[in-house]
A = this chain, B = another copy of it.
Amino acid sequence: MSLHGLAAYIVPSADPHQSEYVADHWKSRAWISGFTGSAGTAVITADMAGLWTDFRYYLIAENQLQGSGYELFKVGMPGVLEYPEWLMNNLQPGSKVGLDGRLFSVGQIRKLAKLFSQREIELVTNFDLIEKCWTGRPAMPDAPVFEHDVKFAGASRAEKLAKLREKMGNADFHFVPMLDDIAWLYNLRGSDVECNPVFYAYSVVGKEVAWLFMDGEKLPDQLRQQLNQDGILVKHYNDLTAFLQQIPEGQSILIDLATVNNQNYNAIRSSSIREGENLVAELKGIKNPTEIANLKQTMAKDGAALVKLFRWLEKTLAEREVLETEVAEVLQGYRRNMAHYFGDSFDAIVGYNSNGAIVHYRPEHGSCASIAPQGMLLLDSGGQYLDGTTDITRTIALSEPSDMQKTDFTLVLKGVINLTIARFPKGTNGVQLDTLARSPLWQGHANFGHGVGHGVGFFLNVHEGPQGFSPLVTSPRAAKAMEPGMVTSNEPGIYRVGQYGIRTENLILCVEDKDNEFGNFYRFETLTLFPIDLRLIKKEMLSEAECQWLDGYHGECFEKISPYLNEEEKDWLRQKCGKV
């Protein structure tokens, strides 16, 4: 840093594709700080090292940063500045701040540069200081890439490209930098990122031909030939920059400023740039009928795995304590036995009592809690199946719950149901809908620090755009209108630090409801199948409509999961699916 005259250097958690989860090769923020959460930014100055992260990771980051010399900045807490503002307040005018422009979107860079210019701080965007310092840095991943069968995907590469080209209008090219967009568009999958079946690549879609920039070694010859036949040419990952530089004058390329990184953006002739939306995300977010039909099957399998897990847990806890990590392992074993299982969709959160209050807790061998038949357990987990991605949270009582626990659990359940049974007109966005799951908690003077839900991929990333439920008007996902075919999580919670955490999460599908003079109304269908712990519910807090929904849901759970169970498991499930 001092060699380059930098007063500060910023290390984000991103890779060059704006991925939320990245390959080990790109975990530079984790390497430099020791904090392994999915979201956070490290900032190093001559005399300070700081780590900025949000609500979900306060407790984890506190633990991981102990003794590291890093100062923890809890974003969202009163008086805590975000790192750009902190830099503005702590650097001298005329200072230089460096970063690796590949790891920031153009949108982010512009915001930073504008902010810094107010204090005459210069932003230098072409410094990769990490590569030189990081000895033993993991190589770029080389896992093989395979085809995602159209019987699961529901639409061929050619059909998807045709739809995309229609949306491109008169643009000559569309730049597709995000890994899950590329995987979806070409019906390809990989294993480059843990729990995310994607592979490192860029793509540019032209009017006739599409280019896929990736390590060609990962592709079986036959698949490469099929891609060729579909008009998709494979080039080397590193050839992208030259390709972007050579887009001829007078030809236009449509890019999304929020996802294109600064280095790629700078490679393009400015007169060729057409700013626009991420068109692939728009298409991918609307699940097709085949995907939806597959996903409904997958939910029953996934529910059956949970039946086996919770039944095992009940029996085992009668005999001995169980480590949180063991719960995750046993559950993974049950999921692995299900047809078309590919892996977990994220590291299971198994939070016993106070660990349940750590929103993104992940049990580790050697440090995790041992579960006794006393208190509560929060289990948030999901599977990647060729026929769909799941993400489900259930909180169960392991002993007679307290009145406060039951009240909290029932408030969360009211939140889940209120959003589930909502009707709303076309155009309704994720901020508006977030309120529906949140306001029943507010009535009980409770709240939670995360959004109500995120989009979920189809055998793809468990978090995907374009939509989401969030209270933040500045969140592009929350600003997006909900559309039929979108699959989103519905997961309010109540977290009492040091005591327990409660979250109930279902995936819900947006469907058409009714058209009239006031608009086209939509509603949700619940996809996730697993009963909600009746022992934790205060029936007197539920309205008649809420009770009706729950009884109906439990009936559906039993009907759809039981074909995957033996008689003893069916008996167990029947009992859990009783009336409220």
A122 nearest CB across to chain B (Å): 18
A521 close to chain B: CB less than 8 A: yes
Which residues of A does B touch, CB under 8 Å? Answer: 422-425, 428-429, 431-436, 438-439, 442-443, 445-448, 471, 473-474, 478-479, 494, 496-497, 513-514, 516-519, 521, 543
Would you call A423 and B443 a contact (CB within 8 A)? yes
A195 nearest CB across to chain B (Å): 31
Beyond A425-B442, A442-B423, A479-B473, whether A518 also contacts B431 by CB under 8 A is: no
Q: With A and B bound together, what is the CA distance between A433 and B442 in angstroms?
A: 12
Would you call B435 and A432 a contact (CB within 8 A)? yes
Q: With A and B bound together, what is the CA distance between A448 and B518 in angstroms?
A: 7
The 8 closest A-B pairs by CB, nearest first: A435-B435, A473-B473, A447-B518, A473-B479, A431-B431, A432-B435, A424-B442, A423-B442
Q: With A and B bound together, what is the CA distance between A527 and B445 in angstroms?
A: 23
Task: Identify which of A423, A433, A474, A519 gathers the most chain B CB atoms within 10 Å of its CB.
Answer: A423
Would you call A445 and B473 a contact (CB within 8 A)? no
Q: With A and B bound together, what is the CA distance between A478 and B474 in angstroms?
A: 12
From the candidates B432, B438, B447, B516, name the one contacting A471 in the complex (CB within 8 A). B432
A79 nearest CB across to chain B (Å): 14
Q: With A and B bound together, what is the CA distance between A400 and B95 in angstroms?
A: 75
A357 nearest CB across to chain B (Å): 11
Kindly list chain B residues whose C-beta atoms are within 8 Å of the C-beta of A521: 442, 445
Q: With A and B bound together, what is the CA distance between A312 and B513 in angstroms?
A: 45
Q: With A and B bound together, what is the CA distance between A354 and B13 in angstroms?
A: 58
Would you call A471 and B429 a contact (CB within 8 A)? yes
Would you call A443 and B471 a contact (CB within 8 A)? no
**Residue in chain B with minimal CB distance to A443:** B423
Q: With A and B bound together, what is the CA distance between A423 and B447 in angstroms?
A: 11
A522 nearest CB across to chain B (Å): 10
Beyond A478-B473, A479-B473, whether A518 also contacts B432 by CB under 8 A is: no
Would you call A473 and B429 a contact (CB within 8 A)? yes
Beyond A422-B443, A445-B516, A519-B447, whether A471 also contacts B435 by CB under 8 A is: no
A453 nearest CB across to chain B (Å): 15
Would you call A439 and B425 a contact (CB within 8 A)? no
Task: Identify which of A428, A473, A478 gathers the most chain B CB atoms within 10 Å of its CB.
Answer: A473
Q: With A and B bound together, what is the CA distance between A436 and B428 in angstroms?
A: 13
